[in-house]
Amino acid sequence: MAIQRVCVIGAGISGLATAKTFIEAGYEVLVYEKQSALGGVWEKSRRYPGIITQTPGQMYSFPDYPLPDSYPEWPSGEQVNAYLESYANHFGVSEKIQFSTKVIALTAIENGHQGWEVTTRTLDGSTITSYFDFVVICNGVNHIPNIPEIPGINEFKLKGGTVLHTTEVESTAQLKGKDVVVVGFGKSACDIVMLAVQHASSCHIVFRKPDWKIPRFFFGFVNFKLLMMTRFTEAMTPKYNPNKLEKWLHSNGKRLVNGFWRLQETIMRYTFGLDTCGLVPSEPLIKSVIASINIAPKNFYKYIRNQKIVTHQTSITRFVEDGVELASGEKLNASIVVFGTGFKQAIPFLEEKYRHHILDLDGYFHLYRNLIHPKVPNLAFVGYNAGLSATLTSDLGALWLVQLLKGNINKPTNNKMVAEMEADLEWRKKNGYAGYGGTCFFSSTFHYLDNLMRDMGLPPRQTGSIAAVMQPLNTQAYSNVRTQLESLYGSKVQDSTNKSQLQSNVSVTEAPTY
C-alpha cells in the first residue's frame, strides 16, 4: 500500500523541517511534541538565560527560509525560537502539531499492512493509539539529560542542595548569591559558568580535561567561519571514502595538514593565554574539531586568569552535606551543582524487536546515511545527522526521505546498506567521529551533504573553484534543490516565496547576549 499518513515525533528544528517537507510532497502529516511549544532545544523551558548560537546565524537558517537581515551574527535563543515559530506558521506546520503529547510506544503493524501503531499520552494521562504508514523520529540526541550517579547526591539534596542539568537552568535567580560548581567543559557548561560569574557568590568549574575552544574572531577581526567552516578546512580532516585530494592530503600531504593545525593551535594558545591558564589540551586540535566545534564565551579565559572562575581538572567523587569532594582530595563548598555532562541516548518508546537494530548497548546509532535502517521498514530518523548546520542537514535529510519513498533514489540492497553503514560507523569510532552516539560529523558536513545530493541525482554545492571551497558553508547554496528535484522527477515539492516575504513574518524583541 502507498504511504499516505506520516507521523513526525518532535517539533524542534528537524521535526519542523521534516513535517514541512512531507506536507509539501502531498502526505498527510501529524506531529507529536511532548512540550507545550515548538522549538526543541530552543523551546523556552529548555534554554538557559543568555544562550546564543555557536553557528553563525545565516548558517543556521533553512535554505528556503532565510533568517531576517535584522538578526545579529549569532542570534539569541529567543530569536531562534521566534524564527522557528515563523517557519512553522508560514509553511502550515503549526496546525499539524499536537502539543503536550508524549509518544510512549511505537509498535510495528505486521498484518500485511506495513506501518506503525503510535501510542501517545497527554497531560491528563489519557492514552491514544493512532495508525501511520510511515514514522520519522525527530526528537534528536539532546533530549535526555545525563547526570552521573555520584554517591551522596540524595543526601545533598535533602540538606537543601540543588542539583541541575544545564537544560534546567531557567533563570539567573537560581544562581544568585549561591556557591556554584559546574561540571563539564563543553559549550553549555561554560555558558553557565559565565552566568555564575555575574550572579553567584563563587564559581568553580570541574572537568576531566580541557578541550580546545575557538575564538569567534581570529586576531580580533577574522570571523572563525572563514577559517573553520569551509570545504577547504574540512579537507584537512580525515574522511571515510575520501576523494583524491583528501587521500593525498592525509598521505603524501600529511606535513601540510599537520602544519595547518599546528598553526591554529599556536594562534589559540596565544589568543586565550592557554599556557598561563594551564589549560593547553593534551590532544591535538584536529581531534577536537572532528568531535565538535566549541566556541569560547567572551572573557572566559580572562575570568580564569583573574580567578573569578576557579578551575579544577579532576572529577567529583562524592557529594557531602555542604558541597562536593573531588578526586584530587579537595572539598568545594556548594549550594548548587550544575552538570554540563551531555545527554543519554535512548529510544525507549520503540519496541525492542527493532530498537536493538538501531541503538546498540554502547549508545551508538546504526543508520544508513544517518536516516534509515534497512531492516526496520517505514521508520526514519532526522536530526540524527548533526553537522555544521542543523537546519540544512535536517532539510536535505527530509528531502532524501521523500525521494526515497517516491522511488527516486537508486539505493543499494539491504545487505549492502548494512555493510556500508557498519563500516562507516566503525571507521568513525576508530577516528574520533563517533560523538553523540555516532551522529556527529561536524568536520564532514560537506562530505555528508555531497552524499545526499548525489543520491538524489543532483550535483554537490560550493565546489569546482578555489573561491567556492574557501567560502563558509552557505545554506542558500541549496535554496534551489526543490526546484531541481521537481524538474528531475516531476515531484509535488513546491518552491517557497521570496526572501522579503519570508522575513516579514519574524518579529521578536532583541534579547541581550553574552
Distance CA 505, CA 68 (A): 9
Range with the poorest average pLDDT among 21-25, 283-287, 429-433: 429-433
DSSP letters, 119-168, are: EEEETTS-EEEEEESEEEE---SSSSB-----TTHHHHHHTT-EEEEGGG
**Same-domain pairing of 203 and 315:** yes
Where is the domain boundary, 338, 368, 396?
Answer: 338
The answer to whether residues 460 and 450 touch, using CB atoms and an 8 Å cutoff, is yes
Question: Which three cell numbers, joined as nine digits, stand for 288?
Answer: 577536537
pLDDT in tens, 331-376: 999 999 999 998 888 899 999 999 999 999 999 999 999 999 999 9
The reported pLDDT for the residue numbered 492 is 53
The reported pLDDT for the residue numbered 219 is 86
Q: How many CA atoms lie within 13 A of 344 on its CB side?
A: 11
**Same-domain pairing of 448 and 300:** no
Range of the domain at 323: 153-338
Flag whether 508 is in a domain.
Answer: no
pLDDT above 50 for 90? yes
Q: What is the mean predicted confidence (pLDDT) over 130-138?
A: 97
Flag whether 510 is in a domain.
Answer: no
**Same-domain pairing of 308 and 288:** yes
**Same-domain pairing of 381 and 477:** yes
Distance CA 320, CA 181 (A): 13
**Same-domain pairing of 197 and 326:** yes
**Same-domain pairing of 124 and 161:** no
* Residues contacting 453, CB < 8 A, separation 6+: 396, 459, 460, 461, 481
Domain count, the chain: 2
The reported pLDDT for the residue numbered 502 is 40
Flag whether 221 is in a domain.
Answer: yes
Where is the domain boundary, 268, 303, 338?
Answer: 338
Distance CA 480, CA 399 (A): 12
**Same-domain pairing of 413 and 453:** yes
Smallest Cα–Cα separation from 346: which of 123, 120, 103, 128? 103
pLDDT in tens, 383-423: 998 888 999 999 999 999 999 999 999 889 999 999 999 99
Range with the poorest average pLDDT among 223-227, 493-497, 508-512: 508-512
DSSP classification of residue 34: S
Smallest Cα–Cα separation from 175: which of 59, 327, 335? 335
Flag whether 511 is in a domain.
Answer: no
**Same-domain pairing of 104 and 135:** yes
**Same-domain pairing of 371 and 303:** no
Q: What is the mean predicted confidence (pLDDT) over 106-130?
A: 91
Q: What is the mean predicted confidence (pLDDT) over 113-129?
A: 93
Mean residue pLDDT of the chain comes to 91
The reported pLDDT for the residue numbered 1 is 54
**Same-domain pairing of 390 and 420:** yes
pLDDT above 70 for 13? yes
Q: What is the mean predicted confidence (pLDDT) over 495-499?
A: 40
CATH number of the domain where residue 331 is located? 3.50.50.60
Strands 336-339, 379-381: pairing kind = unpaired
pLDDT above 80 for 499? no
Judged on CB neighbours under 10 Å (0-12, 13-18, 19+), 365 is buried
The reported pLDDT for the residue numbered 508 is 40
pLDDT above 90 for 16? yes
Where is the domain boundary, 279, 311, 338?
Answer: 338
Flag whether 509 is in a domain.
Answer: no
pLDDT above 60 for 509? no
**Radius of gyration over alpha carbons of the chain, in Å?**
23
Residue 112: pLDDT band (50, 70, 90) is: low
Flag whether 300 is in a domain.
Answer: yes
Distance CA 197, CA 203 (A): 6
CA-to-CA separations, 363 to 40, 142, 343, 406, 434, in angstroms, rounded: 21, 13, 11, 32, 10
Flag whether 513 is in a domain.
Answer: no
**Same-domain pairing of 279 and 310:** yes
Secondary structure of the chain: what % helix, strand, coil (to 5)? 40, 20, 45
CA dihedral 176, 180, 182, 187 (to 10 degrees): 20
In degrees and rounded to multiples of 5, residue 291 shows phi and psi of -75, -40
The reported pLDDT for the residue numbered 9 is 98
The reported pLDDT for the residue numbered 425 is 92
pLDDT in tens, 194-240: 999 999 999 999 999 999 999 999 988 899 999 999 999 999 999 99
pLDDT above 50 for 165? yes
**Same-domain pairing of 305 and 219:** yes
pLDDT above 60 for 513? no
Flag whether 244 is in a domain.
Answer: yes
Distance CA 253, CA 491 (A): 44
